[in-house]
Amino acid sequence: MERIPSLASLVSLLIIFATVVNQTRASICNDRLGLCDGCDQRCKAKHGPSCESKCDGPVGMLLCTCTYECGPTKLCNGGLGNCGESCNEQCCDRNCAQRYNGGHGYCNTLDDFSLCLCKYPC
């Protein structure tokens, strides 16, 4: 006589399978770095050797996108250009919130150079 697995056994196997699949599915971040010139080198310099780069967009206007694994903090990092007179801290935060779901921005100043940096959940 053939043995039929119980419903509890099937549910247990399903839970184990779902847990394993969820652990192996890493969250990813995308960082747009502008035009494609030197895309792969810029991505690897910014996000490490395991990141992947791609150039896509309309002909003549290819843009560089880096895809990298989300870190243990479950936050991605992005940038939106310069901070300054035309875009202060509040402007940077507002732009990050519009561009990245749940994003927050801040101006990071080093000497006379200030960048709008964003953090958003992955």
59-78 as b/e, with b when 16 or more CB fall inside 10 Å? eeeeebbbebeeeeeebbbb
Say if residue 109's pLDDT is above 90: no
4 secondary structure, DSSP code: P
Inter-residue contact 76 to 120 (CB < 8 Å): yes
Structure pTM? 0.59
Mean pLDDT in residue range 16-36: 61
Residue 21: band (very low, low, confident or very high) from pLDDT cuts 50, 70, 90? very low
